[in-house]
Chains A and B, each alone.
Chain A
């Protein structure tokens, strides 16, 4: 026995064994490492830029750009500033993304439903489409449409001519351009009135249906108003619209609207690629709705169309929306591949030409990345709103 031992005390844990102390310690270390690396990066960058004679700051945005851009949604020529090139590129990116999202959603839903068709041939054809398209890189598909398909179209002199109004050649697709004459404002006003009327009718019909159970044919009446009212205004004011039809002038077409081949190739490739993924999402979404739901709807006496519209699709949408959002984001990000075929999108114009001319890599890259970050966050924000509206409301 050892009598010199002090009486046993409750053991106090050492501070470095206390999880809370350790957590604080690790976080302080992490913060220090991050701060140190950030500081080193900034210091290195500043030193490197100084030694290479690169100026800093956003002053370059006001300087004249001095290069042309083949397609712009806002007025632009070489005398405009670098800041303007940013917006030209941004708008072109948003244009092709929006076109792609709309077309890919429509095609994807069609293929997804066709995949579940009772027609064996249609189902297998959709399966083949999905499996072929989504296992081939998107860049390769863009190249294929641009270099192999659109480049081999005839020259302007031998254009494909559809009724002397539409022309297709290797410089693009030429469409007649509607030019509003005085009085066209009435047609536009009629369209606005029609939209407001449809919204009002829809609300009234819903309220009436909830109160009395009577169903009002909202869709048919709505379409009638949307088409009829502007058409009436158009006829009454005497057709105040002129078509600027494209015509061959010298070696190329003039007038009309041009869909440049770069945009067409990018649009087709993005649509086909994303639609294959959306189709799989739609299919799994529809399959996720249990068969009992369809059977119960049929037992209530709903016919096929109503079962689909009121029972299956609303429930399938809950499963579909989250992965659909990430497909939209992918399409938006993939639109940056425009730079490979020379469509003047944000990356191609701003991160390409503007960066090369000004050399201000840090500012340009930061601005471009900030745009992608913002738009990505916006798309997921709006899709989350929609998702919350469509989500299962539980107690």
Chain B
């Protein structure tokens, strides 16, 4: 007869977890100890600087006397960081646009939000028109606000939003052109895409601000913002085209053939069968491209536009505030991080949802 054995000893769960995940080998013990020590010595001073010793309220720069961060600086100049030089009395127009943007796009992150799809379509079609009327003004009794007064977060959002709205249709056309069977059209699209993708955005912006006036006939001239928007849109459309081409290639050949068998011509085939499937497939790719574009809009400060980083940078060099560079950068970094991290999470979830598990 065999003796019944005692059940295996099970350690208390957290201790067992630690033994398995933190102290399983000698080098992991070493690494854990070093990392815990490093975190332990840096978290305290960091929290002190960020919150405990920081100055949040006050009247002017002299109130920042503690050792911590001077958030008063952000607090005082927040209006400038949000709207640039946009006149105070007209800022409700920008606020309406912020609100409409949120109404159109935040539901996209929430599954089963009612009319989510229609809000998205509104965001891509109706909203640009409203923005075009509301932000510059000059009609319907709205006071005109010239584009050199725009700035801050508002300008960053305008650049990214117009960039994406403009580059999406251009990207679709370029992607279709690159997959076309007509050699001249394909060749042109390949050259267009590859050239834009090979040069840095900064040279594109330089070109837009220096050379665009030379290209245009005498007397026809745009303001700086519009030139930057044209440069960004063309540059972005090349990246967009490559993302969409990926989607077009992922559609099985049978879909193309079936559409042709039904007697659909090229444009109807693309519009009704291929593009709806391809564009759904590449939404994560488009979101990722958008994140890249959103971060790259900061480059416009080099050609003298005041986006959110530009406004902060110009305030930091203001002699009345001393040593607030870190606070300014942390603030901008936080703004970008919240937007970009949110969007990248969204695209990762979508990717997981779209992954049917039987690709190739």
Asked if B302 and A339 make an inter-chain contact with CB atoms under 8 angstroms apart, the answer reads: yes
How many residue pairs link A and B with beta carbons under 8 A? The number is 147
User: B354 in the interface, Cβ–Cβ < 8 Å?
Assistant: no
- We find that the number of chain A residues with CB closer than 8 angstroms to chain B is 53
User: A333 in the interface, Cβ–Cβ < 8 Å?
Assistant: yes
| Measured CA separation A117–B20 after assembly (Å) | 12
| Measured CA separation A132–B337 after assembly (Å) | 7
User: B309 in the interface, Cβ–Cβ < 8 Å?
Assistant: yes
User: B218 in the interface, Cβ–Cβ < 8 Å?
Assistant: yes
Tell whether A140 pairs with B332 under 8 Å between CB atoms, given A132-B337, A147-B325, A368-B203: yes
User: B146 in the interface, Cβ–Cβ < 8 Å?
Assistant: no
Stretch at the interface among B54-62, B81-89, B122-130, B182-190: B182-190
User: B111 in the interface, Cβ–Cβ < 8 Å?
Assistant: no
CB contacts (< 8 Å) of A121 on chain B: these are: 22, 31-32, 35-36
Asked if B185 and A48 make an inter-chain contact with CB atoms under 8 angstroms apart, the answer reads: no
Asked if A347 and B203 make an inter-chain contact with CB atoms under 8 angstroms apart, the answer reads: yes
User: B207 in the interface, Cβ–Cβ < 8 Å?
Assistant: yes
Nearest chain A residue, comparing its CB with the CB of B23? A119
| Measured CA separation A7–B211 after assembly (Å) | 66
**Distance between B265 CB and nearest chain A CB, rounded to angstroms:** 9
Nearest chain A residue, comparing its CB with the CB of B156? A137
Tell whether A26 pairs with B199 under 8 Å between CB atoms, given A118-B21, A137-B296, A365-B206: no
User: B165 in the interface, Cβ–Cβ < 8 Å?
Assistant: no
User: A158 in the interface, Cβ–Cβ < 8 Å?
Assistant: no
User: A31 in the interface, Cβ–Cβ < 8 Å?
Assistant: yes
Asked if B188 and A30 make an inter-chain contact with CB atoms under 8 angstroms apart, the answer reads: yes
Which of B22, B185, B206, B302 is in CB contact (< 8 Å) with A119? B22
Which of B200, B217, B295, B329 is in CB contact (< 8 Å) with A44? B217
Nearest chain B residue, comparing its CB with the CB of A114? B31
User: A376 in the interface, Cβ–Cβ < 8 Å?
Assistant: yes
Tell whether A372 pairs with B21 under 8 Å between CB atoms, given A27-B182, A138-B295: no
Chain A positions 33-92 with a Cβ under 8 Å from a chain B Cβ: 34, 41, 44-45, 47-49, 51
Asked if B203 and A351 make an inter-chain contact with CB atoms under 8 angstroms apart, the answer reads: yes
Which of B200, B206, B325, B340 is in CB contact (< 8 Å) with A333? B200
Chain B positions 181-231 with a Cβ under 8 Å from a chain A Cβ: 181-185, 188, 195, 197-203, 206-207, 210-211, 213-218
Of residues A136, A151, A339, which shows the largest number of chain B Cβ atoms within 10 Å of its Cβ? A136
User: A188 in the interface, Cβ–Cβ < 8 Å?
Assistant: no
Contact with B along A230-259 (1 / 0, CB 8 A): 000000000000000000000000000000
Asked if A373 and B195 make an inter-chain contact with CB atoms under 8 angstroms apart, the answer reads: yes
| Measured CA separation A339–B202 after assembly (Å) | 9
User: B298 in the interface, Cβ–Cβ < 8 Å?
Assistant: yes
Nearest chain B residue, comparing its CB with the CB of A47? B218
Asked if A135 and B340 make an inter-chain contact with CB atoms under 8 angstroms apart, the answer reads: yes
**Distance between A391 CB and nearest chain B CB, rounded to angstroms:** 16
**Distance between B36 CB and nearest chain A CB, rounded to angstroms:** 7
User: A377 in the interface, Cβ–Cβ < 8 Å?
Assistant: yes
CB contacts (< 8 Å) of A355 on chain B: these are: 210
User: B336 in the interface, Cβ–Cβ < 8 Å?
Assistant: yes
| Measured CA separation A119–B17 after assembly (Å) | 11
Which of A31, A44, A118, A369 is in CB contact (< 8 Å) with B203? A369
| Measured CA separation A30–B183 after assembly (Å) | 11
- We find that the number of chain B residues with CB closer than 8 angstroms to chain A is 54
Asked if B184 and A31 make an inter-chain contact with CB atoms under 8 angstroms apart, the answer reads: yes
Nearest chain B residue, comparing its CB with the CB of A33? B188
Asked if B215 and A45 make an inter-chain contact with CB atoms under 8 angstroms apart, the answer reads: yes
Asked if A336 and B202 make an inter-chain contact with CB atoms under 8 angstroms apart, the answer reads: yes
Tell whether A122 pairs with B35 under 8 Å between CB atoms, given A44-B214, A347-B206, A365-B211: yes
| Measured CA separation A41–B184 after assembly (Å) | 20
Nearest chain A residue, comparing its CB with the CB of B332? A140
CB contacts (< 8 Å) of A118 on chain B: these are: 21, 24-25, 28
Asked if B218 and A51 make an inter-chain contact with CB atoms under 8 angstroms apart, the answer reads: yes
**Distance between B304 CB and nearest chain A CB, rounded to angstroms:** 12
CB contacts (< 8 Å) of B301 on chain A: these are: 139, 340
Which of A48, A136, A351, A368 is in CB contact (< 8 Å) with B336? A136
Asked if A137 and B295 make an inter-chain contact with CB atoms under 8 angstroms apart, the answer reads: yes
**Distance between A90 CB and nearest chain B CB, rounded to angstroms:** 14
The 5 A-B residue pairs with the shortest CB-CB distance, nearest first, are A135-B340, A333-B200, A120-B21, A137-B295, A376-B198
Residue ranges of B at the interface with A (Cβ–Cβ < 8 Å): 21-22, 24-25, 28, 31-32, 35-36, 181-185, 188, 195, 197-203, 206-207, 210-211, 213-218, 291, 295-296, 298-299, 301-302, 309, 313, 316, 323, 325-326, 329, 332-333, 336-337, 340-341, 344
